[in-house]
Amino acid sequence: YLGQSTPLNSVLQAEEVWFTDYLVLFAISTFSGMPYQNYLQDLSSKFITKKLIIAGNLVESISDNLPSNIQTVSNSTEFISFINQLNS
């Protein structure tokens, strides 16, 4: 867990230390840096080999045109189902 409002560069640095298969983001509010869709495209290109899981109340506003390594989960039930699939 890196915390809220973690700069992208800090996430990149953390990935150099702790290698992960998945990154989970909780999108609960917008930010003024760039449109959220653009942020997700940027994130996807920087973590091309990772599966990015996006949850939170902004998921409904994210377009269906997402990179193939991004998956959205709309609620806690979907998130738990995703985790359970990893264990099967």
- Measured between alpha carbons, how far is residue 88 from residues 36, 61, 82 in Å? 32, 31, 10
Provide the residue-wise pLDDT of the chain in tens; the chain has 88 residues: 787 778 888 888 988 898 888 999 887 776 666 777 888 888 899 999 999 999 888 888 776 788 999 999 988 899 999 999 988 7
pLDDT at res. 31: 64
What is the pTM assigned to this prediction?
0.80
pLDDT at res. 65: 82
d(CA 72, CA 79): 9
